[in-house]
Amino acid sequence: MHFFLMFRNLFRNRRRTMAILLTVALGTGALFSFDGFIHGVLHDLRNSTIHSHYGHGEIHTKGYHDTVFETPTNHWIQNSREVENFLSRLNGVEYVFPRVSFSALLKHEKRTIAVAGQGIEAVKEAEFFHALNIEEGIPLQDQPNGILVGKGVADALQVHPKDTITVIATSPKGMINKGKFIITGIFHTGSQEFDNRVVRIPLLAAQKLLKSSFIESISLGLSDLSDWNDIAKEITSAFPYLEASPFNVLDEIYYQHSVDWLNAQFRVVQIIILFIVLLGIFNTLSTTILERKQEIGNLRANGQSIKDIMKLIMGEGSILALLGSIIGMIGAYLLLMLFSYKGILMPPGPGQTRQSLLTFSFEWSMVGMTLFFSFLSALIASFWAGIKVAKMPIAQSLRSY
């Protein structure tokens, strides 16, 4: 009987039903849209971090990431070939990138600056690290004396692709070594600190400058980020003196703190939107329920208990929440795909020098979460609005008009 009454009541006064549906749909659509944009920001930030800096994570000797050593090269990976061969055979590992880093001076004509150098296997890295955003020239690939420089470095030296610069580095034994390199390209990731300091040269050239054949770290590119924990366990089991650090640990300051801040911001906005939806539903339901005093009085007079009345009212609210949520999410999705499918260009964020593209990213978890909060809001509002009328004396309800 309750289900019959619920649906009959919903279609009996279409104006009131449409008002509630519209209230729920607008609130749900706003919550769904904001959730999608937050997912888009986090997705872009994750991809940028992975495909411009660290890969999905790095392998290095135990404690190396958190410790400052007087002679770091003494703590590099000595049997790198064995480790690389093992990594390349692991399920889920698609790319293996051995690397070394070094401090150096870059000299061009009368200008000299200090930089942080990276020695990389350029051919493999050019395919995976596509978020470097080569602004001028071409990526570093098979050029044995090529060098890829950040935009800040290029501006400081006033250089362009095809210019020749001198790299001066000190080996672990204190020997000063020089090498001449030709600029292949200039990258602009948008991270000011990275673009102002980092240069990349071929791995063999970096090892020649350092007079060392060891590898500092090995970055990994996985087929799926979710495979990282299992792969890390296999690595540490096979090589106990190594440890595997995921990209969010390696870039805790910029990436992880940004993720934590955005999630906290979303929770605040989520609470605000839910409160607005709750008040909107309560206001509409209160008006509707107050207009139905005589109907509720008749139901009580016919033997329906307060519990039965509350089930009826909260059931109607639940159906309206479900229908309104579906309408709101579908409407919001269609509008976003129609007007902002290419993204929204945003100004540079803190510490950034490039504009970013705000995109909407759909995930099924958003649907479940939005439905849950909308349903919960409708239940609270229905209970809040209905309990007073349901407890009203039967005689008083029947005299109401």
Asked whether residue 367 carries a pLDDT value surpassing 50, the answer given is yes
pLDDT tens across 255-267, in order?
Answer: 888 888 888 888 8
pLDDT tens across 148-167, in order?
Answer: 999 999 999 999 999 999 99
Identify whether the C-beta of residue 216 lies closer than 8 Å to the C-beta of residue 250: no
Mean pLDDT to the nearest integer, 125-142: 90
Mean pLDDT to the nearest integer, 348-377: 78
Residue 230 banded pLDDT, cuts 50, 70, 90? very high
Closest CA to 219 of 101, 117, 99, 85: 99
pLDDT tens across 319-347, in order?
Answer: 888 888 899 899 999 988 888 777 777 77
Q: 293-301 vs 364-390: helix axis angle to the nearest 10?
A: 70
Which helix (H) or strand (E) segment is 125 a member of?
A: helix 122-128
Residue 2 banded pLDDT, cuts 50, 70, 90? low
- Residue whose pair of structure tokens reads 């000797």 in the numeric block: 61
Closest CA to 236 of 61, 77, 98, 76: 61
**pLDDT of amino acid 156:** 94
Paired tokens of 317: 């609210």
Percent of the chain with pLDDT strictly greater than 90: 37
Asked whether residue 387 carries a pLDDT value surpassing 90, the answer given is no
Mean pLDDT to the nearest integer, 221-236: 93
> Rounded to an integer, what is the distance from CA 117 to the centroid of its chain?
28
Asked whether residue 1 carries a pLDDT value surpassing 60, the answer given is no
Asked whether residue 366 carries a pLDDT value surpassing 70, the answer given is yes
Range in 92-106, 241-255, 279-293 the model is least confident about: 279-293
Range in 117-121, 370-374, 389-393 the model is least confident about: 389-393
Per-domain boundaries in the chain: 2-49+255-399, 63-240
3 vs 49 pLDDT, higher one: 49
- 46-82 b/e with 16+ CB inside 10 Å = b? bebbbbbbbbbbbbbbeebeeeeeeeebebbbeebee
Percent of the chain with pLDDT strictly greater than 70: 92
pLDDT tens across 343-358, in order?
Answer: 777 777 666 677 777 7
